[in-house]
Structure 1
Amino acid sequence: MAARNTQQTEADDLRQIVTSLYPEALTRTYCVPPVQFNRVPYVRDTVPGTGLSVHVQQPRPSARSRHTALSTKPEGWTVPQHMWAEEPGPHLPPVGMQESDLRDDFAQNHVMLNLQELGDSRHEAMFILSQLQFGSYLNEPAYAAAAAQLPRPKDLPQDRQGDFDFLLIHRQHGILIGELKSVGKTMGALNQTYTPADPHLAQKVKQAVKQLDKSERVVRHLVSDMGPGMTVKKTLFLPYVSSAQLERVLDNDEQLEQAVCQSLGAANSSLSDAVQLCCCSDQLSQPASYWDVTPAVLSQLSTWWQHRMACTVDARLTDQLYLDIVARFVGPATTVSVPCYNGVRVEVRTVGQAVAELGRRLALLVLTLQQLGLMSRDPPLVYITGAPGTGKTVVLVLQGVRWLRQGHDVHVISTGYNTRAVSTSIKQQLEMSLNASPTPSLTPGSVSYHIYDIWNREGDVDQAVTDLVACVKNGHLHVLIDEVSFDSRGKRGPRHTRLVTRLAQQVPHLYLWCAGVYNAGIPPALQTQGFTVPLRSAPAVLREIQPVIHKFAVHDYSDSGVPAPGDGLSVIRLSHHGNAHTGRWPVDCAQCGQDIAAELRRLGVGSSVANSTSRLSYRDVFVLTRSDDIQDDVTDEAGRVTSPASGVVQGLKDAGVPVSVLGDHQDRLHNEARWERAVQDVAVAATDTVTVTRYGYVPGLERRVVAVLQGRDQDDDDRGRTDEDTDRNDRLIAVSRCTTQLITVRTPPVTTTPPSLTTTTTPAVTTTTTDTTSNDDHHHRQEEERQEVCLVVTCPASTPSSPPLP
């Protein structure tokens, strides 16, 4: 009796932990892990001239001649303290993976996204477990004593090894075991092609039936102590095989047909019934747009679900029994880990942990073979152009490290307010990278940081040339400039052109590498290199940006030839609407701030997670707005509030979220020293606070979680800019600051519905704007609007995989 009481107490404890991890366990669908983490092969290599040992992605055989990539591991949660580490990140899988591994990862993600959408749309209470190893069940040492009293896979000598591709635990319908076969899929152009048939389908189905029967024996054993008659069903997931194909194959193999009918429990051994119990390509989203689970797809999925699961209800399943089953399979006694490279276990159970871990993997510094080739050639004058997140800033830093190790001084130039943060970040990366990997023989060079404002002060061009020419040593000068634009239709472009041209004329041996998003008006003195492979944002985020790329003078994204670390989390879409909401736009609304805070709490931002190496800090979050009229409380010398905080800032603070505001134009115009200190803090994420700012101040920086607030200012209205115009800039400039979890806050349209962030897959953006109180800022906006309307399409679009250095 005492033993049973102890066992019941431990079950109660597990159930309590599970309900704390998954507070809506009885009402909603959870995926565990919440994200498919892909396996990406790597080999070691060295960046030329840096002495830095890194890892090179081993592309698929079909893509090996086109692309490869380098990766290094940063340190710290958000912004790398230096760029390099002795070992690669723990997620890197062993070299020598087969293309079938990549294909299986893609198929796993494809099916998981569809099942998640099915569960959410039907409000199903269930857990979708994926790739759970039998040996991971109840194997945590801390729970060994309790686990010893329960059935485990090790009790079945013939079946103790294996895994569940999918294991669905449903509150009403019981347990569903799913075996996935990616037969019919070819990687081809990444994520976009598949073959209509496969000669090995019969063989794969035969294997799947054996695996399903084995998995059923294991599951029934694991729940045998919970009473007889637990509902356990099975299905085949064949996302690249049609129902008609499957039926033809089974019809031509009577023995296989009988095996499938018996395994799946088809009524009267009916072939058509057996096929209906399988989830085929007919019921799933298209491979080329696997994320787009349309209402038509959901209807087909629901029909399959009704045939396979919803046709019966397990009356034995009480809330407590359901939670007890869930607690065993996803609770702390069972290891829920994701693929890793160096044996370090990475547990990912919750959405917040998934955001943290995927964000960490996306923060790894990556180069394509094209970028490595540019560094190998080492031309003296280079302009790197490309869409956000294609590695421009990373290459600038690498080149700067090489110059420093060669003994040259490196001059980092900030040419305007919009480049302060990223330039500060580059300076810090150079200094700390050099300290982490000191030059063995030569005395390294030093880093100098120069601040100018050529946008608002034309004389700063002459001043910059004078200052830099004075820094020439033995005829040599090494310069890095990020966030450059040479577009001749605004004043910033000609001034950047004049700066580069005059330096080239006056410095005998000028080495100048600069980077920018736009590809218009580039001076002939510079060798241009266009980067097109997305490296920093999850595909789910890139899908929000890509539809507007062609609206700008910007290279489109292209296929990298290798998968992203993971597809990412679905966009969280909030609405500035309802009685509690105030102000015209979300930036003015305290309720919107509270709504954002609620999502941050759901992600576990700022909270510690027991037994987890993956967590989110407040410094991992940006809240970005188009408006420059955003501020924290303004106080007088006595500490009295003379001007209250913006609504969204106040809402965040009222919800207990620590906030830092960068963007008050009064600070920038009248207290520049304080504003520069705030910029430096944001650039290196020094303070564990959520940063709220105008998105024009943080190009080149990223955060794992980014909330983008829709908005317009008086200048937009005066100039007749449409919501579509502002939306385009929101996407290109603000959304691209996100690596992993995007949150959008929008005002519902009053009459018509222009392209907006409320769409699921194909959205629109604009460049940054500033406040109307300054004439200089007014001209600042004018140039940006001219850049908005430049239409250039240079590269074919493809499914994206990831943006630049934080």
Structure 2
Amino acid sequence: MAGPGSSQQTSSSNWRQIVTSLYPDALTQTYCVPPVNFNKVPYARGTVPGTGHSALVLHPPSGAGPVHNVPPVSQRQVPPSRYSLLTQEPDPQAIPGNVQESDLRDDFAQNHVMLNLQELGKSRHEAMFILSQLSFGNYLNQPAYAAAAAQLPRPSQLDTKKTKYSDGEADFVLIHRQHGILIGELKSVGKSQACSQNPQPPADADVAKRVTKAVKQLDRSETVVKHLVSDVAPGLTVRKTLFLPYVSTEQLQRVLDNDPQLKQAVCRSLGAGSAAEASQLCCCSDQLSQPASYSHVTPAVLSQLSTWWQHRMACTVDTLLTDDKYLDIVARFVGPATTVSVPCYNGVRVEVRTAGQAVAELGRRLALLVLTLQQLDLMNRNPRLVCLTGPPGTGKTVLLVLQGLRWLLQGHDVQVVSTEYDSRAASRMVAGQLEMALSADPTPPPTPGAVVRHHYVFFDSDADVQQAVTDLVARVKDGQLHVLLDEADFDSSVSGPRNTTLVARLAESVPDLHLWAAGVFHIDIPPSLRPEPLTVPLRCAPSVLREVQTAVGRLTGSIHNYSDSGVPAPGDGLRVIRLSHHGNAHRGRWPVECQQCGKEVAAELLRLGVGSGGSSLPNSPTPLSYRDVFIITRSSELQDDIKDDAGRVTSRASGVVRGLRDEGLPVCVLGYQDLIHNRARWERDVHDVAVAATDRVTVTRYDYVHGLERRVVVMLPGRDKVYDEGLSDEVIDLLDRLNAASRCSTQLIMVDVPPVTTATSTAT
């Protein structure tokens, strides 16, 4: 690929080559650019009590200023690290601009419409680019391409004293291989009412006001777009539409009929002969998914969308567009010479063109240190004995690390305790985070505390409980003991009562005990610990959360359900990728046994750019690496090659592992058989995964990565031969979602398994 300084930078064929490298299926599939709508999130700046660390704080949109009762931001920093729980933005002093409620409405509406259009394109299997929030000022504005841009039509050539076209923006520009270009203006009028419990349509006067403004914006955008493609395809069909996701077609027609001047303007702009026809050419609430379930685009919704699409676009084929001309137009709008940036409150411009870049950037934002007001209040209160409970991704481990850091800065040693193999990775991560934060502190205290790790297996016997009590009591200093206990359940499982016994004996033996524990379940918590439920999701995209919510919602007797903070996530996320363990090349009952599944998973990871080293285009996010990926199963059959003392393979790696390696992916396997046959190596690998030390894809049972998260997670259904006897497929699916899908922050890949049939049995 030629870089910006290449002599080929003015060549249209070179730009087409760049576009087809970014979008390999440009002539057959639908792409959204950017692939994710990034929201304007109302954050405030605060400092975490007792640590001096800056944090972003979720705040209502009407008050995105300073957080009350929080000290001013300090200079203490955390080094950049992909999986630091204390990660901050590069400039901790950057103050977010005020985010208004109207901004949140517009973001919601933009995402709502984009998801529907994306599903429409996917269902029709047509070549199309859906560009959202296209700023004409970013068109051909890259300095390295200034010489090339000077020879091409640009928005600034249309600027007049009355109108500066280069300052405009189009909410949507759809470039279709067969039907030409569609410009769409979006108005979120009615959004606040549409999402209330008793939705009421917006007032006709409000609709008329917004539509009047939208028509003027559409006409201006049409002038710009026609000019920009005039040298490639003069006379190319450019159509226009209005997106009114919270206004019905009936109401829009009534508004137009009652305002002759507005009706004339809309009919002229859209090329309609009547108010009824103009309303049919607009995309209204009748054609879109419901606001309360905007991501659920049903077949009925797709049918309505297709009808609108036929009316507006698919009625004719534009014969002016050849494959090369189509790619040339796409290259102008999303190629290397044009900035494709996404909103970023700290002022750092980030360009996001591809799905992999969207996963990387959204994952980065979800990994920032973000706290709720409830969490800040808890840190302010600083209780001695706490059990943090709540569903996955609500910041329990983050608070453990922050509290441990407070103790270290006060000079106390921090005992990080793991009582089971299931909590080993989480405890190693907590300890590693504390050590990293302490070593990187530019203003460390004169005598900081030390991090002490303790690893036990309470599952085996009560003896380990007594050993843990003895070891920890021996660490008492000045009458105090400071303990962190992550992934600690206190339910009726084998380890639960033993965890309870540990807490009770420590409380009896050490009157000035400081112990913070965390776990998903809120049942059977020891009476000495104060329950603190955390229910606001902070660490995963809503597209992932919807899959996890399916399980959490069914288990509310033992797990608190998620709650809504009233503040949007940084982005909705990419839709779940679904693969199928089915077909002639697939072998075995479950994907973990299947080499072909490994190859197909690898292909999806490579499409996302995992391990590719990233784009040569400027300002792109740090690319996805192999360490960004978990491949998770429940299956007890997962294993790497098992070798004897002489190094000979006595039992081959699972099929999925072999398939991944066939495609060149470096793999680390954490399976039950690996734990049994080489415990020392298993412990080393768990530590490596917990601190993301080595750039490898991790293939693991989900028991071994509780508390960890990755930007990309592949969920492989499977069975545990010992513990799953008598459990239905439905229950197993809920467990998979709770324990595997919840490890994902951004891009979830699910492998579906067909039910057992005669044909399936024959194939396996």
Same fold (TM over 0.5): yes
TM superposition shift of 1:82: 5.7
In 2: Cα distance, 1:122 partner to 1:73 partner: 49
Q: 1:209 to 1:589 in 2, by over 3 A?
A: same
Q: Which residue of 1 aligns with 2:623?
A: 615
Q: 1:67 to 1:514 in 2, by over 3 A?
A: farther
* 1:306-358 CA-partner distances (Å, limit 9, x unpaired): 01000111111111111110010111111111111233221110111111111
**1:257 aligns with one of 258, 263, 271:** 263
* 1:425-457 CA-partner distances (Å, limit 9, x unpaired): 000111111222355555211111111111222
1:635 equivalenced with 2:638 (yes/no): no
Amino acid of the residue matched to residue 576 of structure 2?
Answer: V
Q: Which residue of 1 aligns with 2:762?
A: none
Query: Matched residue of 2:192: which SS?
Result: coil
Query: Matched residue of 1:61: which SS?
Result: helix
**1:114 aligns with one of 106, 113, 116:** 116
Q: 1:127 to 1:733 in 2, by over 3 A?
A: same
Does the CA-based 8 Å contact 1:479-1:512 persist in structure 2?
A: yes
The 5 Å alignment of 1:22-421 reads: 22-61=23-62, 76=80, 78-80=82-84, 83-84=87-88, 87-88=91-92, 94-157=96-159, 158=163, 159-186=165-192, 195-198=200-203, 199-266=205-272, 269-421=273-425
The 5 Å alignment of 1:564-603 reads: 564-603=569-608
In 2: Cα distance, 1:327 partner to 1:554 partner: 49
**1:725 aligns with one of 726, 731, 741:** 731
In 2: Cα distance, 1:436 partner to 1:98 partner: 37
Long gaps (5+) in structure 1: 1-5, 753-806
In 2: Cα distance, 1:85 partner to 1:682 partner: 24
* 1:759-785 CA-partner distances (Å, limit 9, x unpaired): xxxxxxxxxxxxxxxxxxxxxxxxxxx
**2:542 aligns with one of 539, 551, 554:** 539
TM superposition shift of 1:7: 8.9
Query: Matched residue of 2:351: which SS?
Result: coil
Amino acid of the residue matched to residue 241 of structure 2?
Answer: T
Does the CA-based 8 Å contact 2:44-2:65 persist in structure 1?
A: no
Give the TM-score taking structure 1 as reference length: 0.88
In 2: Cα distance, 1:533 partner to 1:242 partner: 33
In 1: Cα distance, 2:582 partner to 2:310 partner: 36
TM superposition shift of 1:69: 12
Query: Matched residue of 1:744: which SS?
Result: strand
In 1: Cα distance, 2:473 partner to 2:82 partner: 36
Q: Which residue of 2 aligns with 1:15?
A: 16
Does the CA-based 8 Å contact 2:30-2:125 persist in structure 1?
A: yes
TM superposition shift of 1:88: 4.5
In 1: Cα distance, 2:137 partner to 2:77 partner: 30
TM superposition shift of 1:526: 0.8
The 5 Å alignment of 1:487-498 reads: 487=491, 489-498=492-501
In 1: Cα distance, 2:740 partner to 2:85 partner: 24
In 2: Cα distance, 1:85 partner to 1:403 partner: 24
Amino acid of the residue matched to residue 479 of structure 1?
Answer: V
Query: Matched residue of 1:715: which SS?
Result: coil
Amino acid of the residue matched to residue 224 of structure 1?
Answer: S
**1:472 aligns with one of 469, 476, 487:** 476
TM superposition shift of 1:598: 0.6
In 2: Cα distance, 1:663 partner to 1:403 partner: 35
1:740 equivalenced with 2:746 (yes/no): yes
Query: Matched residue of 1:560: which SS?
Result: coil
Does the CA-based 8 Å contact 1:68-1:369 persist in structure 2?
A: no
TM superposition shift of 1:227: 4.0
Deviates more, 1:606-615 or 1:92-101: 92-101
TM superposition shift of 1:44: 1.7
1:524 equivalenced with 2:527 (yes/no): yes
Does the CA-based 8 Å contact 2:667-2:697 persist in structure 1?
A: yes
TM superposition shift of 1:409: 0.9
Does the CA-based 8 Å contact 2:78-2:440 persist in structure 1?
A: no
Query: Matched residue of 1:55: which SS?
Result: strand
Q: 1:165 to 1:74 in 2, by over 3 A?
A: farther
Q: 1:250 to 1:73 in 2, by over 3 A?
A: farther
Does the CA-based 8 Å contact 2:9-2:145 persist in structure 1?
A: no
CA-atom RMSD in angstroms: 2.4
Q: 1:228 to 1:629 in 2, by over 3 A?
A: closer
Amino acid of the residue matched to residue 496 of structure 1?
Answer: N
In 2: Cα distance, 1:57 partner to 1:715 partner: 44
1:502 equivalenced with 2:508 (yes/no): no
In 2: Cα distance, 1:337 partner to 1:12 partner: 24
In 1: Cα distance, 2:403 partner to 2:234 partner: 67
Amino acid of the residue matched to residue 728 of structure 1?
Answer: L
Amino acid of the residue matched to residue 35 of structure 2?
Answer: P
Q: Which residue of 1 aligns with 2:684?
A: 677
TM superposition shift of 1:674: 1.7
TM superposition shift of 1:252: 1.2
Q: 1:648 to 1:458 in 2, by over 3 A?
A: same
TM superposition shift of 1:491: 2.6
Does the CA-based 8 Å contact 2:435-2:451 persist in structure 1?
A: yes
Amino acid of the residue matched to residue 202 of structure 1?
Answer: A
In 2: Cα distance, 1:236 partner to 1:193 partner: 25
Q: 1:65 to 1:107 in 2, by over 3 A?
A: farther
* 1:497-548 CA-partner distances (Å, limit 9, x unpaired): 1100110011020000000001111111111101110111110111111122
Q: Which residue of 2 aligns with 1:785?
A: none
Query: Matched residue of 2:578: which SS?
Result: strand
In 2: Cα distance, 1:741 partner to 1:306 partner: 32
Does the CA-based 8 Å contact 1:42-1:55 persist in structure 2?
A: yes
Amino acid of the residue matched to residue 702 of structure 2?
Answer: Y
* 1:333-391 CA-partner distances (Å, limit 9, x unpaired): 11111111233221110111111111111111221111111111111100110001110
1:705 equivalenced with 2:706 (yes/no): no
Aligned positions, number: 739
**1:604 aligns with one of 599, 609, 612:** 609
In 2: Cα distance, 1:32 partner to 1:521 partner: 49
Q: 1:379 to 1:187 in 2, by over 3 A?
A: farther
In 2: Cα distance, 1:74 partner to 1:310 partner: 53
Amino acid of the residue matched to residue 497 of structure 2?
Answer: P
Query: Matched residue of 2:500: which SS?
Result: helix
Q: 1:66 to 1:357 in 2, by over 3 A?
A: same
**2:662 aligns with one of 622, 638, 654:** 654
Q: Which residue of 2 aligns with 1:757?
A: none
Report percent identity of matched pairs.
Answer: 67
In 1: Cα distance, 2:337 partner to 2:408 partner: 50
In 2: Cα distance, 1:517 partner to 1:577 partner: 34
In 2: Cα distance, 1:517 partner to 1:149 partner: 60
Q: 1:329 to 1:497 in 2, by over 3 A?
A: same
Q: Which residue of 2 aligns with 1:513?
A: 516
Long gaps (5+) in structure 2: 1-6, 759-764
TM superposition shift of 1:86: 6.1
Q: 1:61 to 1:451 in 2, by over 3 A?
A: same
TM superposition shift of 1:64: 11
Amino acid of the residue matched to residue 234 of structure 1?
Answer: K
* 1:84-114 CA-partner distances (Å, limit 9, x unpaired): 566349xx88321211111111100000000
Query: Matched residue of 1:177: which SS?
Result: strand
Amino acid of the residue matched to residue 290 of structure 1?
Answer: Y
Return the structure number with greater relative CO, CA threshold 8 A, min gap 6: 1
Does the CA-based 8 Å contact 2:636-2:721 persist in structure 1?
A: no
Q: 1:292 to 1:560 in 2, by over 3 A?
A: same
Q: 1:511 to 1:182 in 2, by over 3 A?
A: same
